[in-house]
Amino acid sequence: MNADRAALTLAEKVLAILELGKQSATYKYALFTAILDLCIEKTSATGVPPTTLTTPELAENVIELYWPHALPYPDKGVLQQGGGKDEQAEIVGAIERFRLKRASAAEDLLHRARVGHQKAWQQLARFVEWKLIEMPIPRLQVSGTGEDRFLYEYGWAVATGKFGSLSHRNQRGPGPPSVVGHE
């Protein structure tokens, strides 16, 4: 397959993910954005993409993405991102509770909350990591035609939810990351 056709195929698959994601889950967008952000952040100065993205890194990035969304709007409360009326997405709810208990002000910085409340932050990050393992990592690449692991592989059974990390699937050179199990 030539490079132009491969780029078009990738774009079509990404658009399909985004189209399905807008109907079913906010976590898919967050995971996809976290993967992109981390790949950009960890790409070397010479343009070599990272060989590994860990689930803890993804969790940290997702918390950073949702941090401003877990702040109440004046007279309205926190933006509801769950599936039904008065139903909040679990990750956003956990971040909201963390902010209510530990952030000293609405404008409190994420870094200050992370450093000032390390144990609680680690618990929040672990919770978010499990939610990513449980839901969007195995489901992000599922479309109407089934699962197509074109972005990454993961090395755990969906039912067991073991921890994992993202690393390159294509051993011949740069390619999409894959999730592999680790303890």
pLDDT, one tens digit per residue, over 14-24 is 887 777 665 55
Backbone phi and psi for residue 165, each to the nearest 5 degrees, phi listed first: -140, 160
* Strands of 11-154, DSSP E: 52-54, 142-143, 146-147
Token pair belonging to 113: 């909350």
**pLDDT, averaged across the chain:** 76
- Give the pLDDT of residue 171: 35
Token pair belonging to 119: 């144990």
Nearest to 35 by CA among 66, 59, 18: 59
Strand partners, 73: 77
* Stretch (H or E) spanning 177: strand 177-181
CB-CB contact of 62 with 132 (8 Å):
yes
Say what angle helices 26-42 and 3-24 make with each other, to 10 degrees: 140
pLDDT over 60 at 61, yes or no: yes
CB-CB contact of 113 with 98 (8 Å):
yes
Is 105 or 92 the better-scoring residue by pLDDT? 92
pLDDT over 90 at 41, yes or no: yes
Question: Model confidence at 59, in pLDDT bands (50, 70, 90)?
Answer: very high
Nearest to 106 by CA among 59, 136, 134, 72: 72
Mean pLDDT of 119-140: 90
d(CA 102, CA 109): 11
Strand partners, 180: 165
Strand partners, 50: none
- Give the pLDDT of residue 82: 62
The structure's pTM equals 0.76
pLDDT over 90 at 123, yes or no: yes
